[in-house]
Amino acid sequence: MSNKKISRREAIKGMLFAGMGLMSVSPIIQACGSKTGKASADSSEIPWTEAPEGSRIDTRTWDKMGETIGMLGLGCMRLPSLPSEGGGRGHGGRLDQEAVNAMIDYAIAHGINYFDTAPAYGESEKVTGIALSRHPRESYMIATKMSNMAFGRSEPTLEAARQMFENSLKNLQTDYVDFFLLHNVSSKEELKRRFLDNGVFDYILEQKAAGKIRHLGFSFHGSNATFPPLVDYYDWDFVQIQLNYADWKDMPANWGPSLGETSSEYLYNYLTEKGIPVLVMEPVKGGALANVNDAIAGVMRSRHPELTPAGNALTFVGSLPNVMVTLSGMSNMEQLKENVSIFTGFQPFDKKDMEFMQTVADLYKSNIHIPCTACSYCMPCPHAVDIPGNFRAFNAASDALSIPDPEKKGKDFNKKRKAFLKLYEELPSAVRADACVACNACLPKCPQHIRIPEQMKMISDLVAKL
Ligand code: SF4
Ligand code: SF4
């Protein structure tokens, strides 16, 4: 693996030129933006809109795969939604094709060439396919997945998997997928049930042999103990794991079933020792590390005043040399531009910075946090509970150090009580935690293994006592 280095000064200079460059191409992009949501029949309508050297993100070259890939990848799980759809969630809401086109045009112009989607992300594959197919196929790489955990409670069959893969190609308007993942696998038992016993893995290998899949890997949401048997099962080209500074030493297991110890560090080191490139998901923990409280943000500012909290989180991940792509699920142009700026003339953390981030992680974890990444896999709830919305309200109060303790009360109790209830009551009453009937339908769907009904009860009990 080799890094391309561009100085910060060159990057800033380049960005000025990039602004000028994009001004000159924007009328063409606007002209080609689809008002109907249909792909342009002629992809040559979109010219090569490359931003100048110095305003494109750094790349790393992976010799074994023969690929040069931008260090930042666009995660298409949280693409912008139409305003009436509640904004930013990719699991079921109608996505804003115009906004997605603009983001993908900007991303490609600035050197992002890795785009990650999945059948489980609602409209994402289709909308991403429309936006990407307006560009030359060689200017981007597509990652999609076999989301056969999303067939509900029925057994995942070979025929359903075949349909899912063919549908992915159709949605993405392509004959081949560059990176294909077995989606959200936690253990060898799960691999066996979803891929081995039913012939799905053999089918995937056939697609690889036929050139329809170029590189094969899996995404992982299990524990340290369940990881090696999966990694050692096949000669994977890459593996996707959850990695961020807060989860580096340990991921919170106390919210879920006894998964056992899990840490990004262990998973990363295991793959690195095996020579397998690491794809990173949740580098900002579903946005949580971008919205830390003022105390934590201040601690980070004291060391790197030029970086935002999200910038610190992304720099931590990008500083690890065996990270192939840092995937960030972006919901708007502002996030995309900020993330691009971090990886343009990328300045890695040194050893001391990396250690410092563990102090920040300890501070972060000293607040009570429900480790929800707002992925919405658990949605819709049959009883209308907005599961990520309730967790977001709870975590926001926790970040603001405003979780009131009705047992002890204490001097700031009333202030905290008001602040917490204000956040909670922003949710419409029908979707609040007390609507949960503990039916458990959401439980098997959560990749973070959160005991959702228990946490809903914890929140509604707290509100009742307040
Ligand atoms: S357990 Fe509660 S939150 Fe989960 S699906 Fe059932 S009612 Fe909804
Ligand atoms: S509770 Fe779990 S599945 Fe639901 S949004 Fe949060 S992390 Fe995703």
The residue nearest atom 6 of ligand 2, judged by CA position, is 372
Q: Is the pLDDT of residue 274 over 80?
A: yes
Apex 48 CA angle, 130 and 13, nearest 5: 120
Distance 331 CA to ligand 1 centre (A): 26
Which two three-digit tokens encode residue 398?
């926790």
Range with the lowest mean pLDDT among 10-19, 194-203, 235-244, 397-406?
Answer: 10-19
The residue nearest atom 8 of ligand 1, judged by CA position, is 381
The answer to whether the CB of 456 is under 6 A from ligand 1 is yes
Q: Look at the pTM and tell me if it is higher than 0.75.
A: yes
What local confidence, expressed as pLDDT, does residue 90 receive? 44
Long-range pairs for 34-40: beta carbons < 8 A, 24 or more residues apart: 34/97, 34/98, 34/101, 34/130, 35/98, 37/97, 37/127, 37/130, 38/130, 39/129, 39/130, 39/133, 39/134, 39/173, 40/133, 40/134
The answer to whether the CB of 207 is under 6 A from ligand 2 is no
What local confidence, expressed as pLDDT, does residue 24 receive? 30
Q: Is the pLDDT of residue 2 over 80?
A: no
The answer to whether the CB of 437 is under 6 A from ligand 1 is yes
Look at 32 and 242; give whichever has higher pLDDT. Answer: 242
The answer to whether the CB of 287 is under 6 A from ligand 2 is no
Are the C-beta atoms of 343 and 71 separated by less than 8 Å?
yes
Q: Can you give the residue ranges of every domain in the chain?
A: 10-366, 387-465
Burial 261-277 (b: 16+ CB within 10 A, else e): ebbbebbbebbeeeebb
Mutate to test the pocket of ligand 1, among 381, 390, 445, 451 (most ligand atoms within 8 A of CB): 381
| Interval 357-399: pLDDT, tens | 999 998 888 777 788 888 888 999 999 999 999 998 888 877 6
The residue nearest atom 4 of ligand 1, judged by CA position, is 442
Distance 2 CA to ligand 1 centre (A): 47
The answer to whether the CB of 385 is under 6 A from ligand 1 is yes
The answer to whether the CB of 440 is under 6 A from ligand 1 is yes
What local confidence, expressed as pLDDT, does residue 152 receive? 54
How far, in Å, CA of 178 to CA of 157, rounded? Answer: 24
Which among 381, 466, 379, 370 has a CA at the least distance from the CA of 424? 466
Amino acid at 463: V
Radius of gyration of the chain (CA): 22
Amino acid at 362: D
Distance 371 CA to ligand 2 centre (A): 8
Instruction: Report the top-level CATH class of 10-366.
Output: alpha beta
The residue nearest atom 3 of ligand 2, judged by CA position, is 446
Which among 307, 281, 309 has a CA at the least distance from the CA of 295? 309
Range with the lowest mean pLDDT among 89-98, 268-277, 338-347?
Answer: 89-98
Distance 222 CA to ligand 2 centre (A): 15
The answer to whether the CB of 384 is under 6 A from ligand 1 is no
The answer to whether the CB of 385 is under 6 A from ligand 2 is no
Are the C-beta atoms of 97 and 76 separated by less than 8 Å?
no
434 Cα distance to chain centroid: 29
Which among 63, 259, 29, 221 has a CA at the least distance from the CA of 131? 29
Which among 246, 348, 349, 346 has a CA at the least distance from the CA of 290? 246
**Shortest-distance atom of ligand 2 to CA 446:** 3
Distance 385 CA to ligand 1 centre (A): 7
Tell me the ligand closest to 441's alpha carbon.
Answer: 1
The answer to whether the CB of 184 is under 6 A from ligand 2 is no
Q: Is the pLDDT of residue 156 over 50?
A: yes
The DSSP code sequence of 100-157 is HHHHHHHHHHTT--EEE--TTSTTHHHHHHHHHTTS-GGG-EEEEEE-TT-STTSPPP
Q: How confident is the model at residue 89 (pLDDT cuts 50, 70, 90)?
A: very low
Tell me the ligand closest to 450's alpha carbon.
Answer: 2
Distance 286 CA to ligand 2 centre (A): 10
> Interhelix angle for 8-32 vs 97-109, to 10°?
140
The answer to whether the CB of 392 is under 6 A from ligand 2 is no
List the 67-70 sheet strands across, edge first.
2-3, 59-62, 67-70
Which two three-digit tokens encode residue 67?
């690929």
H/E element, 216: strand 213-220
